[in-house]
Amino acid sequence: MATSLFTQIRRDLHQIPEPGFAEVKTQKYLLDYLERLPQERMQIKTWRTGILVRIAGTNPKRTIAWRTDMDGLPIAEETSYPFRSLHEGYMHACGHDMHMAIALGLVTHFVEQPIADDLLFLFQPAEEGPGGAQPMMESEEFASWRPDCIFALHIAPEYPVGYIATKPGILFANTSELYIDLVGKGGHAAFPHKANDMVVAGSHLITQLQTIVARNVDPLDSAVVTIGKLEGGTKQNIIAEKARLEGTIRTFSTESMALVKARIEALVKGIEAGFDCTASIDYGVGYCQVYNEEKLTTAFMDWVREQGEDVTLIACKEAMTGEDFGYFLQEIPGFLFWLGVHTPYGLHHSKIEPSEDAIEVGIRLVSRYFTWLSEQN
């Protein structure tokens, strides 16, 4: 079977994953494609390594926006693909290559078959970090084409191809990175009484941090505190002077996020006193929740159910995943939905191989939805 255009585009993009705000090759690839399309109805602007594409409607009363993300992840790829990443240590392991291919498919469709309303397509860098949505929204380029509503999708490994999932209200959690540095006094392993061991201090702190969700967060609420990395020491017979903990915090409410951070700070002060060390906390990048606007999301879900057997809708539960698309939804009504890609490996896994059949599903579904939405004025 011949490879479709947008499947090939996905494969091309899969080979050039880049860090946030360094998507130079990715931006050039996208621009080269966009510039080959008919230009009569289309305007293109760049912002840092991102792109904004406006398609003029035939009788516009509003601007409908679609957002896709662009960056890759610092993961060494272990897929079976013949088109594996050419950038060592980097991989499109979160589906952004598929997201971009779908977005280009939508641009192509609406350039050739415009609808009444204006359309805005946002190719946003740095979703994985340090966060591109908020600064893009603050840019002059975005302000000049500010949309009235905005939408996005994200691939979902757990759902079959042809299935989508969403819900009104909160869909993704508030998130925050977490970095804690401990500094004590190093020394020879044979003389532990002359040193302050930060591996021991860090280990105690990790155990204490696990009590926050279990003993401080309302059991009817939800929160996650995960330490994914502990680094300390230089050699087996040297007591570690420094230790660094790296992790993440996720909550479904801003109140719980504030509570968790307050407890972390209290526990770290206790470690400073108990182990006679100094500590610092850095919350790094934080994303707000993805909150789907109730009316638009419900209407979309009703519309999908009326489409017959082409796409199957699942009314899903909220997830502890994070997405900086939430910043758009803080100010502009819209929603995000999951797109099934049927793969046993999860997001951010080095072996994830999403089904490429989902690309055409996404293009077909969103193009029909935007056409219908434009007719609802």
| Binding region for Mn(2+) | 94, 96, 128, 154, 348
- List 18, 69, 97, 197, catalytic entry: 69
- 4-20 b/e with 16+ CB inside 10 Å = b? bebbebbbbbbbbbbbb
With beta carbons less than 8 A apart as the criterion, state whether 168 and 300 touch. no
- Show the tokens assigned to 347: 């997001």
- Show the tokens assigned to 141: 């380029």
In total, the chain counts a number of residues equal to 377
Active site residue 128: yes
Could you check whether the bond before residue 82 is cis, i.e. omega within 30 degrees of 0? no
- List 23, 128, 293, 323, catalytic entry: 128
Pairing of strands 334-340, 149-156: parallel
CA-based angle 35:29:326, to the nearest 5? 100
State the DSSP code for 73.
B
Question: Which residue from 231, 229, 233 is spatially nearest to 197, judged by alpha carbons?
Answer: 233
Question: Which residue from 148, 154, 172 is spatially nearest to 326, judged by alpha carbons?
Answer: 172
With beta carbons less than 8 A apart as the criterion, state whether 118 and 63 touch. yes
Binding residues: 94, 96, 128, 154, 348
The set of catalytic residues is: 69, 128
